Amino acid sequence: GAVVSQHPSRVICKSGTSVKIECRSLDFQATTMFWYRQFPKQSLMLMATSNEGSKATYEQGVEKDKFLINHASLTLSTLTVTSAHPEDSSFYICSARDFGNNEKLFFGSGTQLSVL
């Protein structure tokens, strides 16, 4: 199946710092990528839809100035958590559509963010 690479897999940072997470589609071009957040024992919640070459579309309640998304190429989207706080600690997962594979959605391996 298609491969989506996400890193780092784990980040521990101090409160107030910014953290960048990268998501790459390795063997297909992804015009659309999605960023999810998952708290312990909860489901995945869509944060935003990242569109190559245009602004991301954020879900209701997600602060666009806090969660900066850049999708500058067909294989790379980045999520930057700015001025992270302990309540931002969560499991962040990206996903990408593979148009060449029945438009299936494939997930990255996730990033566990812990803000101290």
For residue 40, cis peptide bond before it (omega within 30 degrees of 0): no
By CB under 8 A, tell whether 42 contacts other proteins: yes
Nearest CA among 112, 99, 111 for reference residue 2: 99
Q: According to the binding rule CB under 8 A, does residue 112 interact with other proteins?
A: yes
Contact 37, 90 (CB under 8 A): yes
Mask of contacts with other proteins, 75-104, x by CB under 8 A? Answer: ----------------x-x---x----xxx
Looking at beta carbons only, is 51 or 70 nearer to other proteins? 51
Q: Does 105 bind other proteins (CB under 8 A)?
A: yes
Strand order in the sheet with 76-81: 4-7, 19-25, 76-81, 67-73
Residues that bind other proteins (CB under 8 A): 1, 6, 32, 34, 42-46, 49, 57, 91, 93, 97, 102-110, 112
